[in-house]
Structure 1
Amino acid sequence: MWTVIDSPVGDLRLVEHDGAITAIEFSPFRDGTNRAAPGRPLGDRDDDDPLLVECARQLRAYFDGTLTEFDLPLSPDGTPFQRRVWAELLVVGFGKTASYGEIAHRLGMTNAASRAVGLANGRNPIPIVIPCHRVIGANGNLTGYAGGLERKQLLLDLETDSLF
């Protein structure tokens, strides 16, 4: 099931499957397909599904600056390595950032794995909640973001502004 909400970063499609959030997609959406799990149909739109309603509530609270940590059941579809990277992203706190190299080191790898971490980061099917926007280049510059660098900057600014 899925629903769509408006947000400061544009419309978001929230997708759940078997009682867990499986995707948050930025617009423009792909019709009838689940970007997070290619080949898996999205199912029906259900704006009243309790999990989707709760996900929408938490996202609105995040955007309002009143929520700094999400509490949702998550089931991102990915390889074991991707899931390890995404789990590490959940450790990067609200208003904080980490470089791709730092994430690689936290996973017990060298800086040479930074590119693999970046690729896994870019495949994150549940952005915002799994905060891939908090990963930046080693020099502090913003680097690629599936939702676009403008959205990444907006999310980082929102978190920084909420801290003060």
Structure 2
Amino acid sequence: MIKGYSYQTLMGSLTLLEEEGYLVEIRFGKDGETKEEYKIEETPVIEKTFWQLEEYFQGRRQAFDVPLRPRGTEFQRQVWAALLDIPYGETWSYKDLAMKIQRRKAFRAVGMANNKNPLPIIIPCHRVIGSDGKLVGYGGGLKVKEKLLDLEKSVIH
């Protein structure tokens, strides 16, 4: 059974979903609270994730240690695993990400997998930018993506 709980954060409303002791999804905005049926419950995994996100938003955490189980295809999971290799405060292009998974011509497919990341922030898809250096789509909106990147840059500089 999927359990979920919503919080107000510096990045707006976030709904955290857990299943069988694993974080499975993070949703942005109020719509995340009603998108799918789940039991409203603040589980230990959800609470731990929230506090780690709060530390991250305050610039006191650079990595997360909650159990993850993102649901997706094998290719998507491969891309999401590669996202975890992007260092805090740095950005990669979709092409860089495609090279990382040894699929250099698959940058469009990598972009689609990045778009389907069910665990934004924790799996840092916000660190992926266009090859021209511009910010491109983000599930939480470009303003949130910009805030996250600015936060990380301010902490490391």
TM-score > 0.5 by shorter chain: yes
SS at 1:76's partner residue? coil
CA RMSD of aligned residues (A): 1.2
Distance change in 2, residues 1:92/1:17 (3 Å): same
In the alignment, structure 1 segments of 5+ residues that lack a partner are 35-40
Instruction: Tell me how far apart the structure 1 counterparts of residues 89 and 32 of structure 2 sit (CA, whole Å).
Output: 31
Q: Which residue of 2 aligns with 1:46?
A: 41
Instruction: Tell me how far apart the structure 2 counterparts of residues 13 and 54 of structure 1 sit (CA, whole Å).
Output: 13
TM-score norm. by structure 1 comes to: 0.90
Instruction: Tell me how far apart the structure 2 counterparts of residues 82 and 143 of structure 1 sit (CA, whole Å).
Output: 19
| 1:33 CA displacement | 3.7
Instruction: Tell me how far apart the structure 2 counterparts of residues 11 and 33 of structure 1 sit (CA, whole Å).
Output: 14
Is 1:154 equivalent to 2:156 in the alignment? no
How many residue pairs were aligned? 155
Q: Which residue of 1 aligns with 2:62?
A: 68
Q: Percent of aligned pairs with the same residue?
A: 42
Q: Determine which structure has the larger strand proportion and give its number.
A: 2
> Map of 1:95-110 to 2, 5 A cutoff?
95-110=89-104
Runs of 4 or more above 3 Å deviation: 30-34
TM-score norm. by structure 2 comes to: 0.94
Q: Which residue of 2 aligns with 1:91?
A: 85
Tell me, yes or no, if the aligned pair for 1:13 and 1:29 is still in contact at 8 Å: no
